[in-house]
Amino acid sequence: MTEKLSNEWEERFRAVEENYKRICDGIARAAADSSRKPEEITLLAATKTVPVEVINHSIALGISHIGENRVQELCEKYDGYASVDVQFIGHLQTNKVRQIISKVSLIQSVDSLHLAQEVSRQAVKAAKQQDILLEVNIGREENKSGVLPEALPELLEQVAVLPALHIRGLMAIPPADAAKSETIRFFSRMTQYFIDIKNKSMDNVNMDYLSMGMSADYEDAIRAGANMVRVGSALYGARVYR
C-alpha cells in the first residue's frame, strides 16, 4: 500500500474513533433523559457501503452489532468481518432469504406473512431458530417497506405460530422528510404499539427490541423509547456508492 493510501485509512480510522465517542455520549445522554442506563441501548452500526477494514476498526473500538441492508453486499463482506453480531436491516426478497439465514442473528425487516413463511421454511432447513423484528410502515408511506399499523396485530398472530421463528420486537423508519416534531410523534406511536403488544403476552412474541432512530435522530428515538438505534453515516461518514 502506498503511503498516501495508508494515510487516508488512518484518517478515516481516526474519524470513526471520534464519531464513535460522540455517539456513545449521545446515547448515554438520551438514556439518562429517559431514566435508563446506556447499557440498555444497543448501538447497531449500519455498514452499507463501508469497507470491511473500516468496519473491523469500529469493532475493535467496541461496536458489537452491525447491520447490512443488501444481501449481495452482506455475503461478499461476511467472511471479512471480525467477530461481531451480524443482522439484516434492509428490504428482503423471499428468494434471497436462503443466502443469509446462516449468517444473521436477527432479521429486522420482516413485513409480510409471505416473507415470514419463507424465513421460517429456511430456518427449519438450517435447523436454527431465527429471531426477527416486524417492520412497521409508521409514516404510511407508499412504496415503503413495512406493515401498516392497523395490519400489525393480524401479522403478529399469523407469524407467531410459524415454526423456527421468534418475534423479538419492532422496527421502523419514519419518513425521511418529516419535521423533527413529527418524527418524534412517529417514534412515540411505535413505543405505544411496542408496549401494547408487550402487555398482551402472546406466545412466541417477546418485545425485547424496539429498533428506531438513525444518524439524524437517534437521541430523539431513545428519548421516545427505542432500545436499539441503527447508525451509519454519523459513525462512518457520508456513504460513497460505487
- x/- map, 90-109, ligand PLP, by CB under 6 A: x-------------------
d(CA 29, CA 74): 32
Q: Are 184 and 171 in contact (CB under 8 A)?
A: no
Considering only the stretches 5-13, 73-81, 188-196, 225-233, report the one whose residues sit in contact with ligand PLP under the rule CB under 6 A. 225-233
The span of 21-29, 93-101, 118-126, 230-238 binding ligand PLP (CB under 6 A) equals: 230-238
Exposed / middle / buried, residue 181 (Cβ in 10 Å: 0-12, 13-18, 19+): exposed
> How far is residue 57's CA from residue 9's CA, in Å, rounded to a whole number?
10
Binding part of the chain for ligand PLP, among 33-41, 73-81, 96-104, 228-236 by CB under 6 A, reads: 228-236
Closest separation between CB of residue 8 and ligand PLP, Å?
21
Task: Report in angstroms how near the CB of residue 4 gets to ligand PLP at its nearest.
Answer: 27
Q: Which position among 77, 121, 168, 230 is part of the footprint of ligand PLP (CB under 6 A)?
A: 230
Tell me which of 48, 57, 77, 223 binds ligand PLP, using CB under 6 A: 48
Beta strands in 127-220, from DSSP E residues, in sequence order: 130-136, 165-172, 205-211
Dihedral of CA 102/105/110/114: which sign?
positive
Question: Quick one: 48 or 77, whose CB is closer to ligand PLP?
Answer: 48
Kindly tell me which of 6 and 64 has the beta carbon lying closer to ligand PLP.
64
Instruction: Report the distance separating Cα 175 and Cα 186, nearest Å.
Output: 9
In angstroms, give the least distance from the CB of 241 to ligand PLP: 11
Residue with CB nearest ligand PLP? Answer: 232
Find cell 474513533 and name the residue: 17
What angle do helix axes 3-33 and 52-61 make, rounded to 10 degrees? 50
Residue 237 near residue 48 (C-beta atoms within 8 A): no
Q: Does 89 bind ligand PLP (CB under 6 A)?
A: yes
| Cα(153)–Cα(156) distance, integer angstroms | 5
Say whether residue 225 binds ligand PLP (CB under 6 A): no
Q: Is there binding between residue 121 and ligand PLP (CB under 6 A)?
A: no
Look up residue 90 and give its three cell numbers: 434492509
Among 23, 43, 46, 207, binds ligand PLP (CB under 6 A): 46
Question: And the C-alpha cell for 140?
Answer: 404510511
Q: Residue type at 230?
A: R
- For ligand PLP, which stretch binds (CB under 6 A), given 28-36, 55-63, 122-130, 232-240? 232-240
Binding site for ligand PLP (CB under 6 A): 46, 48, 69, 89-90, 173, 214-215, 230-234
